[in-house]
Amino acid sequence: MSNGSGYGSDMSGNINGHLVITGMMGSGKSTVGPKLAAVLSRPFYDLDDEIVSTTGMAIPEIFERYGEQVFRKWELEKLDYMLSRPVPQVLALGGGTLADERAFALLRGHCVIWLEGSTEELWQRVRSSGRPLVQRGLEAFRRMHEERRTAYTKAATFQFDCSQEPDVIVRMIVQTLGADGDE
């Protein structure tokens, strides 16, 4: 997989807007995100963490008590709120945030970075993590990854190979964006 490959998506990513990181569970969004934010001197937010702090519940608890549909509704509302904030940030999405079509309209005009890897490697990273959707097993995870590739492809401005070291990924992102860290 080539790195920093541009996606001629209709989202026309603008690096002066928010930098949004997407990709499957285990792709390293929450590791790469804060490092990228530090290099670019931007604040970092993780959408899951924002939902947890607003609701006072851990993600597995939300799934257990309210179900996935309610989680998706809260996730979309939180995405809308985060992207409406004026200060350019680095925002890591959840792996399923783009499962809802309405997310695309919210992302328009922002730069979307997709961290992608093989299903097997992603699975190895998350299989023991306790994430609710991992409980369904490898075959369900594989199907989810296949289905979501369409959404990630549609949203992504750039794609990077997540099998590399986080610091290497950050360096490649910064190079690709043409940002020197002193924005």
Residue 76, CA atoms < 13 Å, CB-side half-sphere: 14
Where helices occur in 56-178 by DSSP H, the ranges are 59-66, 68-83, 102-107, 119-126, 138-155, 166-177
Pick the closer one to ligand S3P by CB: 75 or 179. Answer: 75
DSSP one-letter string for 118-148: -HHHHHHHHTTS--GGGGG-HHHHHHHHHHH
Quick one: which of 48, 88, 162, 176 contacts ligand S3P (CB under 6 A)?
48
- Minimum CB separation of residue 25 from ligand S3P in Å reads 4
Pattern of binders to ligand S3P over 5-34, x per CB under 6 A?
--------------------x---xx----
132 binds ligand S3P (CB under 6 A): yes
CB of 146 to ligand S3P, least distance (A): 13
User: Strand 158-161 and strand 5-6: pairing?
Assistant: antiparallel
Nearer to ligand S3P, 67 or 181 (CB): 67
- In the complex with ligand S3P, the residue whose CB is nearer, 122 or 170, is 122
Alpha carbons 67 and 28: distance in angstroms, whole number: 25
User: Which residues of the shown chain bind ligand S3P in the complex (CB under 6 A)?
Assistant: 25, 29-30, 48, 59, 94-96, 131-133
